[in-house]
């Protein structure tokens, strides 16, 4: 009705060539539709770039201005090689969580692809960045580009003053720990460039002063320690009294290093801080992959269909679109040679699409599983889902039996105490809840990455740093633990110990540097 009345007699354009005029016209049209669907997004800054530039953008993990590091060069070489050999098409979109939201269009793309990317990135991802609670809490879209410029400039200056190698080694160490540079539970202050620059100098002095207090040559009691030394059998004078430092385990390793590492120079602390801040900026993205891609895919699908219904695109372009869309949301089964884990586009798209169905035409099953949303306004419901969840909770909340059936999900338990693998749940009445639970856990960052926290810094003794790894389901650490500890050792400057805890007991201890006699810590594991 409404859409029919506005139906155009001729499409905006056809064929596969694009011009800036045509793109602008499409953009206006998509913006109008997005507005109708009440998508709230940042202004868009759409940049047309070449393939080569796209590979550059890839290599810098999508940061429009990156500092220099060999690992980005490695990434570039890998991308280039894969692309040249034709193993990989370049993703046709790259979008940056910034205000204005920067999206890249490759010049080689066909018209259809440009329109698709605009719908996907400039309205899908963009509205996700603006709406989702994690992004709102963790990132400041308006200042990220400024911060990146600051970081690049600062690291450039460091390289000039202290040498490329010194900075590179420091960055290597920080990168190894960047997944542990985030406060998971505490709301951080968003990254802000101006403030960083303004406060940087005073912070240098302040930080150093703080560290100096902590590491005074003559150990004294810290403020907040128990006032009187307590004598005991092994320590009659109470020299080791005063409690552990830090009193509570610290999950943010890089933060702890930045504030407490005894030997780091002020500029090195600042570099640690930069890596930490950038890790924080990417933290929401790592937790919302399924939702973010699903949301963007859902919207490009919806918007493209509306464009077609309104007569803005013709059949040819629509067919091309459907082909490409189908490829994006395909989910090869587990035994296919193309299987590479669960495709976040497919899963996210399936969940959002099914949510809309549940709202628009619910059946009995939906009313039983989703009594609150069955039959509700789909735009409100989808918006609510997009705003208030991350992958883990989103799946827990919205993965419907129908999606489980459609994707034929099943759960395998791989227990090293058992001879065989067990199929624990399949897509049936008994399995739905278990699969939902387990899939949700599979996306929980806290379970995906080993849980490692700072347990103790021995500020009165040998200055060693002790970490604790709390095992999840008896899963041990991979061998990469040694190189990471080596990096940590470089930052801390004194011995590093890592205790792997299973239940209440220490199942395994790691040391760096390796003890002289006892090679690679052959303590018995569980």
Partner 1 sequence: MTYFIDRRANAKHKSAVNRQRFLDRYRTHIKRSVEEAVNRRSITDMERGEKISIPSRDISEPVFQHGSGGRRSIIAPGNREFQEGDRLRRPGGGGGGDGSGEGGASNQGEGMDEFAFSLTREEFLEFVFDGLELPHLERKPLVDVEEVRPVRAGVSRDGVPARINIVRSMREAHARRIAMRAPIRRALREAQEALATEERKDPVLRNPARIQELKDEIERLEKRLEAVPFIDTYDLRYNHLVNQPQPSSKAVMFCVMDVSGSMTQSHKDIAKRFFLLLYLFLERSYERVELVFVRHHTAAREVDEEEFFYSRETGGTIVSSALTLVDEIIDKRYPPTQWNLYVAQASDGDNWDDDSINCRELLTESLMSRLQYFTYVEITPHAHQALWEEYERVEAAFPDRFAMRQIVEPGDIYPVFRELFKRRADA
Judged by beta carbon, residue 155 or residue 261, the one nearer partner 1 is 155
Judged by beta carbon, residue 384 or residue 410, the one nearer partner 1 is 410
Among 247, 412, 503, 515, binds partner 1 (CB under 8 A): 412
425 binds partner 1, rule: CB under 8 A: yes
Instruction: In whole angstroms, give the CA distance from residue 83 to residue 53.
Output: 13
Cβ-Cβ contacts under 8 Å for 277 (sequence gap 6 or more) = 147, 151, 191, 196
Q: Which of residues 193-252 bind partner 1 (CB under 8 A)?
A: none
279 binds partner 1, rule: CB under 8 A: no
184 binds partner 1, rule: CB under 8 A: no
Q: How many residues bind partner 1 (CB under 8 A)?
A: 105
What CA–CA distances, in Å, run from 130 to 29, 39, 183, 197, 359?
A: 21, 10, 21, 26, 24
Shortest distance, CB of residue 15 to partner 1, whole angstroms? 20
Q: DSSP of 303-361, one letter per residue? A: HHHHHHHTTSS-HHHHHHHHHHHHHHT----TTSTT--S--HHHHHHHHHHHHHHHHHS
Judged by beta carbon, residue 358 or residue 409, the one nearer partner 1 is 409
Judged by beta carbon, residue 15 or residue 525, the one nearer partner 1 is 525
Instruction: In whole angstroms, give the CA distance from residue 48 to residue 105.
Output: 5
Binding mask 299-328 for partner 1 (x = CB under 8 A): ------------------------------
The one segment of 202-210, 219-227, 233-241, 339-347 that binds partner 1 by CB under 8 A: 339-347
In the sheet with 465-470, reading across from the earlier edge strand, the strands are: 451-457, 465-470, 496-502, 505-512
Judged by beta carbon, residue 473 or residue 517, the one nearer partner 1 is 473
Strands 496-502 and 465-470: parallel
Judged by beta carbon, residue 47 or residue 194, the one nearer partner 1 is 47
What CA–CA distances, in Å, run from 81 to 53, 106, 338, 512?
A: 15, 18, 20, 36
504 binds partner 1, rule: CB under 8 A: no
* Residue where the block lists tokens 């090869």: 332
Q: HEC states along 184-200?
A: CCCCCCCCCHHHHHHHH
Cβ-Cβ contacts under 8 Å for 407 (sequence gap 6 or more) = 331, 346, 347, 350, 427
Shortest distance, CB of residue 213 to partner 1, whole angstroms? 30
Judged by beta carbon, residue 328 or residue 409, the one nearer partner 1 is 409
Shortest distance, CB of residue 43 to partner 1, whole angstroms? 4
- Two tokens at 435? 């699969």
Among 273, 487, 489, 511, binds partner 1 (CB under 8 A): 487
424 binds partner 1, rule: CB under 8 A: yes
Judged by beta carbon, residue 277 or residue 487, the one nearer partner 1 is 487
340 binds partner 1, rule: CB under 8 A: yes
CA 97, 102, 108, 112 dihedral sign is positive
329 binds partner 1, rule: CB under 8 A: no
Q: Which of residues 438-457 bind partner 1 (CB under 8 A)?
A: 438-439, 441-442, 448-450, 452
The tally of CA atoms less than 13 A away on the side-chain side of residue 156 is 9
98 binds partner 1, rule: CB under 8 A: no
Judged by beta carbon, residue 193 or residue 409, the one nearer partner 1 is 409
- Two tokens at 343? 């495709």
Judged by beta carbon, residue 222 or residue 445, the one nearer partner 1 is 445
- Two tokens at 181? 């540079």
Judged by beta carbon, residue 3 or residue 50, the one nearer partner 1 is 50
DSSP assignment letter at 239: T
Among 332, 461, 493, 513, binds partner 1 (CB under 8 A): 332
Instruction: In whole angstroms, give the CA distance from residue 455 to residue 355.
Output: 43
Q: Is 522 exposed, middle or buried (0-12, 13-18, 19+ CB in 10 A)?
A: exposed
Beta bridge partners, 15, equal: none
Instruction: In whole angstroms, give the CA distance from residue 80 to residue 64.
Output: 18
Shortest distance, CB of residue 523 to partner 1, whole angstroms? 15
Q: Which of residues 354-383 bind partner 1 (CB under 8 A)?
A: none
Among 483, 503, 513, 515, binds partner 1 (CB under 8 A): 483
Shortest distance, CB of residue 100 to partner 1, whole angstroms? 8
Q: Which of residues 99-128 bind partner 1 (CB under 8 A)?
A: 100, 107, 122
Among 25, 80, 241, 320, binds partner 1 (CB under 8 A): 80
331 binds partner 1, rule: CB under 8 A: yes
- Two tokens at 197? 């620059």
Judged by beta carbon, residue 292 or residue 381, the one nearer partner 1 is 292
Strands 44-49 and 101-106: parallel
Q: Which of residues 251-270 bind partner 1 (CB under 8 A)?
A: none
Judged by beta carbon, residue 200 or residue 285, the one nearer partner 1 is 285
Q: Which of residues 49-78 bind partner 1 (CB under 8 A)?
A: 49-50, 52-53, 55-57, 59-60, 66, 68-74, 76-78
Instruction: In whole angstroms, give the CA distance from residue 331 to residue 346.
Output: 6
Q: With beta carbons less than 8 A apart as the criterion, state whether 221 and 242 touch.
A: yes
What CA–CA distances, in Å, run from 367 to 189, 276, 440?
A: 41, 45, 22
Among 376, 411, 453, 466, binds partner 1 (CB under 8 A): 411
Q: With beta carbons less than 8 A apart as the criterion, state whether 136 and 99 touch.
A: no
Shortest distance, CB of residue 97 to partner 1, whole angstroms? 17
């Amino acid at each position: 009705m409404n859409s029919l009345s506005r139906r155009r007699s001729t499409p905006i354009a056809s064929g596969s060539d694009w011009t800036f005029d045509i793109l602008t016209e499409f953009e206006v049209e998509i913006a109008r539709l997005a507005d109708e669907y009440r998508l709230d997004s940042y202004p868009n800054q759409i940049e047309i770039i070449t393939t080569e530039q796209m590979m550059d953008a890839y290599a810098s993990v999508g940061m429009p201005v990156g500092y220099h590091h060999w690992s980005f060069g490695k990434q570039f070489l890998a991308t280039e090689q894969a692309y040249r050999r034709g193993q990989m098409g370049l993703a046709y979109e790259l979008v940056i969580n910034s205000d204005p939201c920067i999206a890249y269009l490759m010049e080689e793309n066909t018209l259809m692809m440009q329109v698709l990317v605009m719908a996907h990135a400039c309205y899908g991802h963009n509205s996700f960045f603006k709406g989702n609670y994690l992004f709102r809490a963790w990132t400041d879209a308006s200042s990220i580009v400024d911060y990146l410029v600051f970081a690049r400039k600062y690291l450039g200056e460091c390289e000039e003053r202290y040498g490329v190698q010194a900075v590179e080694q420091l960055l290597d160490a920080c990168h190894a720990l960047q997944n542990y540079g985030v406060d998971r539970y505490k709301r951080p202050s968003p990254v802000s460039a101006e403030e960083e620059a303004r406060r940087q100098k005073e912070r240098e002095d302040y930080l150093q002063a703080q560290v100096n207090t902590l590491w005074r040559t003559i150990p004294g009691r810290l403020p907040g320690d128990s006032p009187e030394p307590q004598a005991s059998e092994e320590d009659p004078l109470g020299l080791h009294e005063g409690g552990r430092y830090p009193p509570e385990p610290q999950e943010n390793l890089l933060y702890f290093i930045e504030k407490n590492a005894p030997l780091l120079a002020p500029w090195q602390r600042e570099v640690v801080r930069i890596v930490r801040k950038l890790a924080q900026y990417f933290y929401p993205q790592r937790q919302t992959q399924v939702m973010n891609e699903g949301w963007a895919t859902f919207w490009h699908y919806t918007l493209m269909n509306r464009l077609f219904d309104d007569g803005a695109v013709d059949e040819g372009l629509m067919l091309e679109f459907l082909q490409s869309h189908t490829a994006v949301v395909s989910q090869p089964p587990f035994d296919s040679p193309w299987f590479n884990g669960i495709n976040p586009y497919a899963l996210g798209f399936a969940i959002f699409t099914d949510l809309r169905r549940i709202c628009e035409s619910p059946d009995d099953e939906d009313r039983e599983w989703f009594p609150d949303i069955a039959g509700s306004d789909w735009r409100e419901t989808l918006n609510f889902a997009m705003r208030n969840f991350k992958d883990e909770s989103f799946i827990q909340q919205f993965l419907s039996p129908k999606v489980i059936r459609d994707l034929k999900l099943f759960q395998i338990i791989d227990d090293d105490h058992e001879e065989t693998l067990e199929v624990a749940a399949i897509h049936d009445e008994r399995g739905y809840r278990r699969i939902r639970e387990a899939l949700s856990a599979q996306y929980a960052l806290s379970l995906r990455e080993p849980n490692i926290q700072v347990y103790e810094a021995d500020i009165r003794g040998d200055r060693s740093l002790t970490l604790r790894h709390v095992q999840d389901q008896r899963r041990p650490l991979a061998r990469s633990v040694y190189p990471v500890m080596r990096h940590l050792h470089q930052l801390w400057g004194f011995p590093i110990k890592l205790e792997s805890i299973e239940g209440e007991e220490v199942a395994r201890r790691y040391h760096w540097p390796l003890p002289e006699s006892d090679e690679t810590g052959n303590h018995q594991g569980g």
